[in-house]
Structure 1
Amino acid sequence: MDQDGGTPILSVAGMRATIRLNRPSVHNRIEPEDLRTLIAHFAAIDADPAIRVVIITGTGRSFSSGYHLGDLASRPAAEVTGEASFEQMLEKLENLRAPVICRLNGGVYGGSTDLALCCDFRIGVDTAEMFMPAARLGLHYYPSGMVRYVSRLGLNAAKKLFLTAEKIAAPEMLAIGYLTEMVPASELDARVDALADRLAAMAPLAVQGVKRSLNEIARGQFDVPAALLRAKESQASEDLREGLAAFREKRVPVFKGR
């Protein structure tokens, strides 16, 4: 077996899909061959209507040390162009149908900080840390990543992280909104499970539609007619009738995604 592990692993259990980055000896660095694997995993998840929540995590002590930039000087367009670029992979992650929880089991660095921002929730251990070294390396970041940083964290935090390449610890990650929740390592799995169970119990058509609309708003690309169409479709859904009936009858709703 390769001592560095291998490509990311996808597992599915009921309504939950889990993707685990799997190169612990290099802190789950994302290699070029991992991009196609991740894109294939995302396609498989979107093709399975039974999946209502996705978890992304890392193997070992770190979440991820980012994308492998070792030979970037010899491939200057690799990060933003091509059939399976890092930016394209992140776009597909951000646009996954189901909500995504990033289980930050440790430090997150470089491009993987943007990978985590593509997720809808980030629950991290209180020993986590992050930094964005692009400027220190002489790299101007790709456009969609900068948009995510500013829209999720605000201009001041984005400037600090991008322009100084300063490392920040979990409490500051929580304060700037990078972390949705900060927990001791002993509580990480319980908190991720609780959020995953809650998301899976929601009406999937409503959750997925609202997620898409909110992401469009954050990018400044809100498609109002499409959002209104999704709203009308939800009003005609079996799930809405079930939700209203459950509310009246004071019971837990059972949604079927239709």
Structure 2
Amino acid sequence: MEMNEQKSEYASNKLLFKIIDEHIGYITLNQPAKRNAMTIEMWKGLGQIFDDYEQNDSIRVFIITGEGDKAFCSGADLSEPHNRENDHLIRQLREKMGKFPKPIIACIRGFCIGGGVALAMSSDLRIAADDSQFSIPATNLGLPLNYDIIENLFKLIGASHTKMLLYTSERINASEAERIGLVNRVVPTDKLYENVLKLAKTLVKNAPLSIYAAKCAINQLHSGSSNNEQVLVAIEKCLNSEDYQEGRKAFIEKRSPNFQGR
């Protein structure tokens, strides 16, 4: 990647962060020797990145990927002890991603396994290379899955496909993942980053408040809750924004709008 990069490190260098083109936050899981398995420190670092940049209006979209060409994320780092406290923290961080006001794109290459699938599902959009492979091998390892993972999977791909993935622990390829709705798009491996960056730039050009209002509404429908106050507030903020006026003006003047997120 080129273009005015600003770089920083989190989680003892196991998470890398850089800003591309002023508006794109690029997060890399940096544990390639373990196929980018997630430690609890990495999860905390991911939460810290989102805390650090949530109020930064210049960053409009985030990309998450894995270092190297072997894996996006192979799930939890099994060298760490398993306990309920960490499970609870990780679940909170996944929920944080789902509610985060800026869109998150998972850029997937190679293995996407277990908790890696959960991380990808917590992102708004999932773009996969055609060499990607997906699996949730909990039943093959005698492990229970957290309810929120099953819930998100069910809402994303439906009951039938969820049962097939979970009951069998089978590994599926990228084309099957796209067919059942687990990923949005599959692209040639050598064009993955080009396509993801192109998508990110498309989102950057669109109105941030409009995207956030859409995300609020989708999350509301996803939750099944009847409390739509947050959605109404987001819509009202969008209607009262300078970007709303800019969009109308640009349409009349037959030019591209210049949205500022306010």
Q: What TM-score, normalized to structure 2?
A: 0.90
Q: Say whether the 8 Å CA contact 1:103–1:124 is kept in structure 2.
A: yes
Q: 2: distance between equivalents of 1:233 and 1:86? A: 31
Per-residue deviation, 1:151: 0.8
* Mapping of residues 154-193 of structure 1, within 5 Å: 154-193=158-197
Partner of 2:136: 132
After TM superposition, give the deviation of residue 148 of structure 1 in Å. 0.7
The structural deviation recorded for 1:32 is: 1.9
Q: CA deviation at 1:233?
A: 2.0
Equivalent residue letter for 1:251: R
Matched, 1:239 2:243: yes
Residue of structure 1 in register with 2:119 after alignment: 115
- Aligned pairs (5 A) from 1:1-258: 6-13=13-20, 14-61=22-69, 62-70=71-79, 72=81, 75-81=82-88, 85-221=89-225, 223-258=227-262
RMSD: 1.5
Deviates more, 1:18-27 or 1:30-39: 30-39
Quote the Cα distance in structure 2 between the aligned partners of 1:234 and 1:39. 26
Deviation at 1:122, TM superposition (A): 0.8
- Cα deviation, 1:45-91, whole Å, max 9, x if unaligned, reads 2131211110000001210111123455xx4414433xxx2212211
Q: Is the 8 A contact 2:216 2:230 kept in 1?
A: no
Same amino acid, percent of matched pairs: 31
Does the CA contact (< 8 Å) of 2:212 and 2:234 recur in 1?
Answer: no
Distance 1:18 1:224, change over 3 A: same
**Paired letter, 1:227:** V
In the alignment of these two chains, the number of paired residues is 249
- How far apart, in 1, do the equivalents of 2:216 and 2:204 lie? 17
> Which runs of 5 or more structure 1 residues have no equivalent in the other structure?
none
- SS of the residue aligned with 1:252? coil
Question: 1:66–1:108: 8 Å Cα contact kept in structure 2?
Answer: yes
Distance 1:95 1:161 in 2: 26
Q: Is the 8 A contact 2:16 2:29 kept in 1?
A: yes
Which amino acid is 1:43 matched to? D
Q: TM-score, normalised by structure 1?
A: 0.92
Q: Any gaps of 5 or more consecutive residues in structure 2? A: 1-11
Mean CA deviation greater in 39-48 or 242-251: 39-48
For the residue of structure 2 that corresponds to 1:154, the secondary structure is helix
Q: Deviations over 1:195-253 (max 9, x none)?
A: 10110001111101211221221122353232122212211111110000101111000
Amino acid aligned to 1:48: N
Range with greater deviation from structure 2 (112-121 or 42-51): 42-51
Cα shift at 1:94: 1.7
Alpha-carbon separation, structure 1, partners of 2:226 and 2:132: 33
What SS class does the counterpart of residue 124 from structure 1 fall into? strand
